[in-house]
């Protein structure tokens, strides 16, 4: 657990002196262990020594699942995702992960060596924080996700973050977060001049091997 952020995390370091850090947020109902296996794959592709931080989302009732309590970064009330947004929950997680980023900076990682990544709900929080934080991070990875709190982005966007690279990827058969949602986010960010790579794959709401290769290439390039 990080003392500053008060959030439980799984931490994996690929070498004794990691010079870069990736904070990776899981999707709805999963936990921090969900993406731990990807570290070995990325390491085998020549990623430099890196610290991976996989936080666990808090357990909350999720409306769309009948109020069932599960790990979630915010509540989901509508299959449309962008209707009836749980803005309060989104902003709570934004603040929580923002503190986690501060913890990594306090450990000696410069913001320019920190990547914020996320899948699905985690990707939404990565977008939410990564575009608004006062720190100019190394980059964002947004997998099978969409842009939350879209109506406040213009007023809250940190202009410095328009210069950071973004990798966005989505499954063409995704019926949880429709690919159109992911594409809409990418087009909006590109219209603001952001450097966004957009990749689609013949898969559902998941991650595939080809995508992992793209993530490795992206991380090697920006770190």
Residue 92: domain span: 9-222
Nearest to 161 by CA among 140, 147, 191: 140
Residue 58 lies in a domain: yes
Instruction: Please work out, in degrees rounded to the nearest 5, the angle formed at the alpha carbon of residue 147 by the alpha carbons of 142 and 204.
Output: 55
Q: Residue 179's domain is classified under what CATH number?
A: 3.40.50.1820
Closest by Cα among 203, 201, 96, 116 to 165:
116
Lowest mean pLDDT among 23-32, 57-66, 81-90: 81-90
Give the tens place of pLDDT for each residue, 122-178.
Answer: 999 999 999 999 999 999 999 999 999 999 999 999 999 999 999 999 999 999 999
Give the H or E element holding residue 201: strand 196-201
Q: Is the pLDDT score of 1 beyond 50?
A: no
- Residue 170 is among the residues annotated as catalytic for this protein: no
Catalytic hit among 120, 135, 144, 170: 120
Q: Helix or strand or coil: residue 124?
A: helix
Residue 2 lies in a domain: no
Predicted local distance difference test score (pLDDT) of residue 81 = 61
User: How far is the C-alpha of 82 from the C-alpha of 76, rounded, in Å?
Assistant: 9
- Residue 21 lies inside a defined structural domain of this protein: yes
Answer yes or no: is 54 within a domain.
yes
Contacts with 173 (C-beta within 8 Å, 6 or more apart), sequence order: 202, 203, 204
- Specify the higher pLDDT residue, 81 or 201: 201
Contact 114, 126 (CB under 8 A): no
Answer yes or no: is 79 within a domain: yes
Mean pLDDT estimate for the chain: 94
> Can you tell me the distance from the alpha carbon of 147 to that of 2, in angstroms, rounded to the nearest whole number?
27
| 75 is a domain residue | yes
Based on the residue annotation, tell me whether 174 is a catalytic residue of this protein: yes
Band of pLDDT at residue 47, cut at 50, 70 and 90? very high
Q: Which of 31, 75, 103, 174 is catalytic?
A: 174
- Residue 3 in domain: no
Distances (CA, A) of 85 to 1, 7, 90, 178, 209: 29, 23, 8, 16, 32
pTM for this model (two decimals)? 0.95
Query: Pick the catalytic residue: 49, 110, 199, 205?
Result: 205
Residue 153, H or E segment: helix 153-156
Total number of domains in the chain = 1
Specify whether the CB–CB gap between 152 and 182 falls below 8 A.
Answer: no
Q: Is residue 124 part of a domain?
A: yes
Which among 159, 160, 179, 161 is positioned nearest to 169, based on CA atoms? Answer: 179
86 noted as active-site residue: no
């Amino acid at each position: 657990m990080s003392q500053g952020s008060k959030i439980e995390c799984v931490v994996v370091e690929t070498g004794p002196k990691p010079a870069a850090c990736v904070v990776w947020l899981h999707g709805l109902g999963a936990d921090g262990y969900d993406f731990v296996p990807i570290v070995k794959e990325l390491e085998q592709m020549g990623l430099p020594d890196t610290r991976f931080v996989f936080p666990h989302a808090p357990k909350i009732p999720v409306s769309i699942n009948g109020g069932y309590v599960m790990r979630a970064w915010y509540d989901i009330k509508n299959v449309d995702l962008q209707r009836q947004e749980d803005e309060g929950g989104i902003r709570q997680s934004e603040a929580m992960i923002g503190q986690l980023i501060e913890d990594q900076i306090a450990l000696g990682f410069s913001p320019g060596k920190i990547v914020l990544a996320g899948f699905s709900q985690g990707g939404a929080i990565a977008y939410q924080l990564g575009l608004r934080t006062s720190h100019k991070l190394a980059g964002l990875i947004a997998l099978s996700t969409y842009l939350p709190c879209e109506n406040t982005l213009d007023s809250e966007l940190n202009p410095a973050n328009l210069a950071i690279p973004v990798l966005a990827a989505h499954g063409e058969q995704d019926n949880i977060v429709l690919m159109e949602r992911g594409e809409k986010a990418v087009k909006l960010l590109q219209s603001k001049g952001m450097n966004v790579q957009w990749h689609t794959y013949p898969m559902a709401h998941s991650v595939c091997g080809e995508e992992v290769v793209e993530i490795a290439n992206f991380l090697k390039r920006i770190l």
